[in-house]
A and B are shown apart, each in its own frame.
Chain A
Amino acid sequence: MLGTKAERLKSLLDLLLLLVAKELKVRYKRSVLGFLWTFLTPLAMMAIFTFIFQVVFRFSGIPSFPVFFLTGFLAWQYFSGGLLTGTASVVANAGLVKKVAFPREVLPLSAVLAQGVHICLALLVFVAVLGVLGWPVLARLPLLLLGLLVTTLLSSGFALAASALNVTYRDVQELLTVVVMLWFYATPVVFPLSMVPPRFALLVKANPVSWAVELFRLSLYYPRFGSGWGGPRLLAAAVLGSLAVFLAGWAVFRKLSPGFAREL
């Protein structure tokens, strides 16, 4: 009963999964459209941006714009949705944090993973539709899984740090809604990385969310695995970078979490 390390890890995993299940259940318990919402947002965004670029601007430099947009947007939606809900999670569960001793990490992590479940469902439908339309979706599917992993690490890393800071400075949550909006346009979701002028390219590449977006595109949109940024270098940057972000975020969280019960 005392709990070996393996047992404790198992019950921690159980807790994480139960919390993810709770998030999903609670979110859709009293909603009519339920999981459909997961598809409606990206579809609406796709429709708007396709209209702006192809109908208003008559821009045709990006082949299959809707597919281009959706691959990037789903990565973005996972990252930003996880970050925003994860950031609020510790403060939102103040009562629990003050009264029960449990690993506080599960709060932001479960919020991010719940968002991940939504995205996976959306991807499932998206990939199926692409397959029916004749896209070679299966060829580079492992890259999509890697993309999901990288996005999970990135979103979790930022959410861990932000949720911990949010305990002392509630402005973090407010600030983040603005930051996320700007961040969206700094990420190659509506524009391709290849069109960014060379002097800004490094800046865009340094944006961690670009790695996630590019990995998604590499799996589902770009015709070839390619070399340079499109190939091994991107993979290395994404894997190592996202791991670094996650560990840094976790370090911040671990440093601040003992003080949560007092600060809240």
Chain B
Amino acid sequence: MGQRTPAIEVRDLWERYRLWQERTRSLKELILLRKRGSYRDLWALKGVSLEVEEGEALAVIGPNGSGKSTLLKVLAGILPPDRGEVKVRGRVGSLLELGAGFHGDLTGRENIYLAGSILGLSRREISRKFDEIVAFSGLKEFIDTPVRSYSSGMYVRLGFSVAVSLEPDVLLVDEILAVGDEEFQARCMEKMWSFRRQGRTMVLVTHDLQAAEKLADRAVLLMQGAVVAEGPVPEVAAAYHERLGLGGSRPGAPQAAGRFGTGGAEIVQVEVVGEDGRRKEEVAQGERFLLRATIKFLEDLVEPVFWLRLRGEDGALLYETDTQSRAATTGRFKGGEVVEALFWLRANLGPGTYHAALGVGGPERETFYDWWTDACSFRVVGGKGERGRAALEARIELRAEAGGERPPGEILLSC
């Protein structure tokens, strides 16, 4: 292995991600106000180094916003490296988006030529592979129909078929193995395998750890823009699970205190409040109640994300939600501003004690301005003597069946 030159060499790669706070895009503002909008440069990748040998398949795993896709875009040559060095040897094919370059008004045939050419194939190469592409897509009868009338599945199938016809030396794949129906997925997987057998190099970014284990020789775990684990896929996957399992505790955060953050905001106070507006520590099962947090912003912040996480007494995660995953935008807050965050809940929980963690974090989901692991606790009481953590409001019935002494359908019991 040592003597061979790697197909991909990445040395100390830093890549900026520009988070615009107020995007100035007009010349008027530029000239009259002489400002170009304020932005924060976050580092999407912080000193990533890795090597991929020729013929090797590397899986890049990690949570959303860990820099996986940015890494792939740098390897594909779409983004230039801000710092560090990136060398990719051979023809690069990237499956970052299927059907990129398609135009709805053009037919499947015309789009094969157009998209293939954008991906870097010459017209002659496309002509040579045309029948193969059409056969693989299974869209022979629709090939002279404008793609605007294709279903989304057909569209993606044609896109995939064009992309894999590129026969790249280095294939970059971003989370696209889950396209089309099962039959097509199996064919995609098979195609990936044939790529591997032909000794082509592959880098795939995925959430799907099973697919990663199937296809990749090795994995790296990216978190907050840095490689935190590297090695055989099962080991790295285990390391990933472990880190996710730790939940709120981020690497380097003081775990014991259960409170950490950059200090951009502060959770001042958290209370459990009943529907009547009174503070309480005990909630009846099935009752509506709310967690009321007073939050003070210490810096100007844009699109902060508000988090709630509930755990049982044994620390098991029961429930988690945040404003961003509800597709809500929170807007801008000025330093010094104070808000109340109200988390309305229904106590569909078994009797016991529960702990709520609250957090205010950045929109990139990587930093927390303030995270409070044990922000408040409450007890759930009542119920019908059920056990377990969930309150699923069971009703138990007994009904008579035909063939006995009782009339069929008679309800013998309901509790």
- Chain A interfacial positions (CB closer than 8 Å to B): 1-3, 7, 10-11, 14-15, 18-19, 22, 25-26, 29-30, 95-102, 168-172, 175, 258-259, 261-262
How many angstroms between the C-alpha atoms of A23 and B178 in the bound complex? 32
B339 is an interface residue with CB less than 8 A from chain A: no
Find chain B residues with CB under 8 A from A15 CB. 117-118
Find chain A residues with CB under 8 A from B26 CB. 169-171
Please determine whether A100 and B118 come into contact, CB atoms closer than 8 angstroms. Answer: yes
Find chain A residues with CB under 8 A from B105 CB. 25-26, 29-30
Find chain B residues with CB under 8 A from A172 CB. 27
Find chain B residues with CB under 8 A from A101 CB. 76-78, 92, 94
B80 is an interface residue with CB less than 8 A from chain A: yes
How many angstroms between the C-alpha atoms of A87 and B378 in the bound complex? 61
Q: Which of B77, B96, B106 contacts A25 (CB 8 A)?
A: B106
Please determine whether A99 and B114 come into contact, CB atoms closer than 8 angstroms. Answer: no
How many angstroms between the C-alpha atoms of A262 and B117 in the bound complex? 23
Find chain B residues with CB under 8 A from A3 CB. 91
CB within 8 Å of A: which B278-316 residues:
none
Please determine whether A171 and B27 come into contact, CB atoms closer than 8 angstroms. Answer: yes
Shortest CB distance A174–B (Å): 9
Shortest CB distance A106–B (Å): 9
Q: Which of B28, B79, B106, B119 contacts A100 (CB 8 A)?
A: B119
Which single residue of chain A is at the shortest CB-CB distance from B17?
A: A262
Find chain A residues with CB under 8 A from B97 CB. 95, 99-100
Please determine whether B114 and A19 come into contact, CB atoms closer than 8 angstroms. Answer: yes
Shortest CB distance B125–A (Å): 8
B152 is an interface residue with CB less than 8 A from chain A: no
Please determine whether B100 and A99 come into contact, CB atoms closer than 8 angstroms. Answer: yes
Please determine whether B110 and A22 come into contact, CB atoms closer than 8 angstroms. Answer: yes
Q: Which of A10, A99, A168 contacts B78 (CB 8 A)?
A: A99
Shortest CB distance B184–A (Å): 21
Interface of B is mostly: loop
Find chain A residues with CB under 8 A from B101 CB. 96, 100
Please determine whether B103 and A169 come into contact, CB atoms closer than 8 angstroms. Answer: no
Interface of A is mostly: helix
How many angstroms between the C-alpha atoms of A168 and B20 in the bound complex? 12
Q: Which of A11, A14, A100 contacts B94 (CB 8 A)?
A: A100
Besides the contacts A3-B91, A26-B103, what 9 more A-B pairs have beta carbons closer than 8 Å? A11-B120, A19-B114, A100-B78, A101-B76, A101-B77, A102-B118, A170-B25, A171-B28, A261-B78
Please determine whether B100 and A95 come into contact, CB atoms closer than 8 angstroms. Answer: yes
Shortest CB distance B160–A (Å): 14
Please determine whether A169 and B30 come into contact, CB atoms closer than 8 angstroms. Answer: yes
Q: List 27 A-B contacts (CB under 8 A).
A: A1-B169, A3-B91, A10-B122, A11-B121, A14-B122, A14-B123, A18-B123, A22-B106, A22-B114, A25-B106, A29-B105, A30-B105, A95-B97, A100-B76, A100-B97, A100-B118, A100-B119, A101-B78, A101-B92, A102-B119, A168-B25, A169-B25, A169-B30, A170-B25, A261-B78, A262-B16, A262-B18
B167 is an interface residue with CB less than 8 A from chain A: yes
Please determine whether A1 and B27 come into contact, CB atoms closer than 8 angstroms. Answer: no
Please determine whether A96 and B118 come into contact, CB atoms closer than 8 angstroms. Answer: yes
How many angstroms between the C-alpha atoms of A7 and B105 in the bound complex? 30
Q: Which of A169, A258, A261 contacts B73 (CB 8 A)?
A: A261
CB within 8 Å of A: which B8-22 residues:
16, 18
Shortest CB distance B99–A (Å): 10
Please determine whether B123 and A26 come into contact, CB atoms closer than 8 angstroms. Answer: no
Find chain A residues with CB under 8 A from B122 CB. 7, 10-11, 14
Please determine whether A175 and B110 come into contact, CB atoms closer than 8 angstroms. Answer: no
Shortest CB distance B34–A (Å): 14
CB within 8 Å of A: which B70-127 residues:
73, 76-80, 90-92, 94, 96-97, 100-101, 103, 105-106, 110, 113-114, 117-123, 125
Please determine whether B96 and A2 come into contact, CB atoms closer than 8 angstroms. Answer: no
Shortest CB distance B79–A (Å): 5
How many angstroms between the C-alpha atoms of A98 and B110 in the bound complex? 22
Find chain A residues with CB under 8 A from B169 CB. 1-2
Please determine whether B100 and A100 come into contact, CB atoms closer than 8 angstroms. Answer: yes
How many angstroms between the C-alpha atoms of A168 and B18 in the bound complex? 13
How many angstroms between the C-alpha atoms of A100 and B73 in the bound complex? 9
How many angstroms between the C-alpha atoms of A98 and B122 in the bound complex? 22
Shortest CB distance B87–A (Å): 15
Which single residue of chain B is at the shortest CB-CB distance from A26?
A: B105
Q: Which of A10, A98, A259 has the most CB of B within 10 A?
A: A98
How many angstroms between the C-alpha atoms of A11 and B124 in the bound complex? 9
Q: Which of A3, A7, A261 has the most CB of B within 10 A?
A: A261
How many angstroms between the C-alpha atoms of A7 and B91 in the bound complex? 13
How many angstroms between the C-alpha atoms of A97 and B78 in the bound complex? 8
Please determine whether A261 and B120 come into contact, CB atoms closer than 8 angstroms. Answer: no
How many angstroms between the C-alpha atoms of A86 and B380 in the bound complex? 65
